[in-house]
Amino acid sequence: MAITTQPGPYARSEFQTGLFECCDDCCTCIYGYFCLSCLGCSIARDMGECCLCGLGMPIRSVYRTKYNIEGSLCKDFMITSFCLPCATCQLKRDIDRRKQQGIF
């Protein structure tokens, strides 16, 4: 029998919501739309980083690595370059869900 996934912390996962699933949390979507930099500061605060670090590829990559989420630096760069508001809202939704689940 072949092992297809590794157990424990090495198992890969996905973000808990899709990039364009803004309707899953309309409040976060509206927050990101009207004050993206404030949402970025909220993410940075959640992750224990300085406020200026909350937007873009670096914070997304750090988060993905911490929670072993599928992806790559190249993909993070492309997503945050072409759809920063959606990427930021997706990250905040994932943080909020992990907080609710007690795994953040």
Give the Cα separation of 17 and 92 in Å (integer).
10
Q: Where are the domains of the chain?
A: 22-101
Average of per-residue pLDDT across 72-95 = 95
Residue 93 DSSP SS3: helix
Q: Taking residues 90-101, what's their average pLDDT? A: 95
Whether the per-residue pLDDT at 7 is higher than 60: the answer is no
69 phi and psi angles, rounded to 5 deg? -90, 135
Q: What is the pLDDT of residues 22-80, one digit of tens each?
A: 888 999 999 999 999 999 999 999 999 998 888 999 999 999 999 999 999 999 999 99
pLDDT band at 90 (very low <50, low <70, confident <90, very high): very high
Q: How far apart are CA 98 and CA 76, in angstroms?
A: 20
pLDDT greater at residue 100 or residue 1? 100
Residue bearing tokens 């980083």: 49
87 is written with which tokens? 């990427």
- HSE, CB side, 13 Å, CA atoms: give it for residue 77: 3
DSSP 67: T
pLDDT at 6 over 70: no
**pLDDT for 3:** 53
d(CA 7, CA 25): 31
